[in-house]
Amino acid sequence: MEKRTDYSLLLLIAGKNQKAFDWFYKRYIKLIYSFVYYELNDQALTDDLIQDFWIKVWENPSFLKCNDQGSAQSYMLQYLRFRMLDIYRETLKNIISIDQLELQENIETGYSSIIAKMEEEELVQIICDALDGHPPLIQKTFWLRINNWSVGETARALTVSKKTVYNKYSESLSIVRSHIKKKHPELVEDFSQAMIRKKIFMLRILLF
């Protein structure tokens, strides 16, 4: 049971196999807890969200989608991100009154920053997944160009010709677009807008 993929475990859970559920729970509980608690920094909210998540897994495991390797981890974390956004929205509704317009503006500004950060992190992780396994030159070319390095700067940094930079960047974009269209069609527009605004802030230390 331990060596089964998430996909096979979820199929068994759909048939109300308690042992499969226990293995899936054991496989991800530490990751899920640290991920959610780090973002929410609230014990009660974390416990409630995680409890609701596991109930949903038991009742309807088909909501979790798996990648080609049979892993549900990426989709699972994405699902939890969206649930945390729901919590932020509900929190705002509860603390804002009609007489708190100035406070509301400040909170909404902070909330927008939180959403932007979470959406950016999600998109960056998906792009990393898309480029994973491809040659380092393709990956490095993508991140340098997307961080507004010029073709010349990129060529010098990677010790290649400008033509190679053009080719590898074009190839990387094709890889990422294809991955997002296939695995995360709901994010196609977000990726396109990010490309237009060059709004993906990966530090250069990730490259070398």
Q: What is the CATH number of the domain that holds 10?
A: 1.10.1740.10
First to last CA, the chain: 39
Total of domains in the chain:
2
Taking a C-beta distance cutoff of 8 angstroms, is the pair 140, 207 a contact? yes
Question: 5 and 89 share a domain?
Answer: yes
The C-alpha atoms of residue 48 and residue 132 are separated, in whole angstroms, by 34
Cα 120 to Cα 49, 73, 110, 186, distances in angstroms: 22, 18, 15, 14
- pTM for this one? 0.48
Residues 4 and 58 grouped into a single domain: yes
Separation between Cα atoms, residue 128 and residue 50, nearest integer Å: 26
139/83 same-domain check: no
Say how far apart CA 146 and CA 76 lie, in whole Å.
Answer: 27
Q: What is the mean pLDDT of the chain?
A: 77
Quote the domain boundaries for residue 161.
121-208
Same domain (yes/no): 151, 72: no
Q: Are 39 and 84 in contact (CB under 8 A)?
A: yes
User: For the segment 89-115, what is each residue's pLDDT rounded down to a tens digit?
Assistant: 666 555 444 444 444 444 344 434 434
Backbone angles phi, psi at 149, to 5 degrees: -75, 135
Which residue type, as a one-letter code, is found at position 60? N
Low-confidence ranges of the chain (pLDDT < 50): 95-118, 199-208
